[in-house]
């Protein structure tokens, strides 16, 4: 069960954190993985880990906010692998601020990466997914990384929440437009412990990292943050044939936040 053998999966932002965990688990399940990253060092590290574990991965430069870069990356994937079966739109950036404290430049940057990036990558991937599906007889898959901020209010996350709300509704739209041919779902995590969290705490709360880590952990009723591997395991399921009857859905993985 949950095999991805023979499938080609493109994962944006796969150089660290959740994206890297997804790349590693997809490769472990037999997928050939295209690691899309703006950082050559980060993508190279992920590819090295995948190959060290016996998997198949290649790195592709991709700035998801620029159409030419996205088109070039997906053309390179097609040339390298000859097909595309799965797209995981994972690349994203965060921002802290209310509507009053969010600068226009910050709002634009969040939109460019978190919203436009999903649009551009999906637009580039859909023709490849449809072509692969027509030869294999199976649906293509798009999996987007949303957030609990797509569904509930979170303090000081105005621009970020805007972007993840858009990811949620783009998921619904793609699922509706490509019913029977491409499945599209999204995952909505609460806080997940990644290197980004550690860097944020070190920069924002020097000397108080452990105190603030505990405070952020306790936001989840289970009393801890999620793990990148837990999100990756859900991603494996949603992109596998076992989930072939699921489309247009959002899956919270939130430690109980949305039960309250």
Read off the DSSP letter of residue 143: E
Among 160, 200, 219, 251, the one annotated catalytic: 160
Known catalytic membership, residue 160: yes
Backbone angles phi, psi at 101, to 5 degrees: -95, 0
Determine the Cα–Cα distance for residues 251 and 189; give it in Å rounded to an integer: 8
Determine the Cα–Cα distance for residues 74 and 121; give it in Å rounded to an integer: 8
Helices of type H across the chain = 17-28, 40-52, 67-81, 104-110, 117-136, 158-177, 195-204, 209-218, 228-239
Please report how many Cα atoms fall inside a 13 Å half-sphere around the Cα of residue 197, on the Cβ side.
18
102: CB partners within 8 A, 6+ apart: 95, 158, 159
Q: Which residues are catalytic?
A: 160
């Amino acid at each position: 069960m949950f095999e991805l053998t023979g499938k080609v999966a493109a994962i944006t932002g796969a150089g660290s954190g959740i994206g890297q965990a997804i790349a590693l688990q997809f490769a472990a399940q037999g997928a050939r993985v295209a690691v899309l990253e703006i950082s050559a060092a980060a993508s190279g590290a992920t590819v090295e880990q995948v190959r060290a574990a016996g998997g198949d991965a290649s790195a592709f430069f991709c700035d998801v906010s620029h159409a030419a870069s996205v088109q070039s990356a997906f053309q390179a994937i097609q040339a390298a692998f000859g097909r595309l079966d799965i797209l995981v739109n994972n690349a994203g950036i965060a921002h802290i601020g209310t509507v009053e404290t969010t600068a226009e430049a910050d709002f634009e940057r969040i939109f460019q990466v978190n919203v436009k990036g999903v649009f551009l990558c999906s637009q580039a991937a859909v023709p490849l997914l449809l072509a692969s599906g027509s030869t294999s007889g199976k649906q293509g898959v798009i999996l987007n990384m949303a957030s609990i901020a797509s569904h509930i209010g979170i303090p000081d996350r105005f621009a970020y929440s805007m972007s993840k709300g858009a990811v949620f509704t783009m998921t619904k739209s793609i699922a509706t437009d490509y019913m029977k041919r491409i499945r599209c779902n999204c995952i909505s995590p609460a806080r997940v412990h990644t290197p980004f969290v550690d860097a944020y705490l070190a920069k924002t709360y020097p000397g108080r990292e452990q105190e603030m880590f505990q405070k952020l952990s306790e936001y989840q009723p289970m009393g801890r943050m999620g793990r990148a591997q837990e999100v990756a395991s859900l991603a494996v399921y949603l992109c596998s044939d076992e989930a072939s009857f699921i489309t247009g859905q959002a899956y919270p993985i939130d430690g109980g936040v949305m039960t309250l």
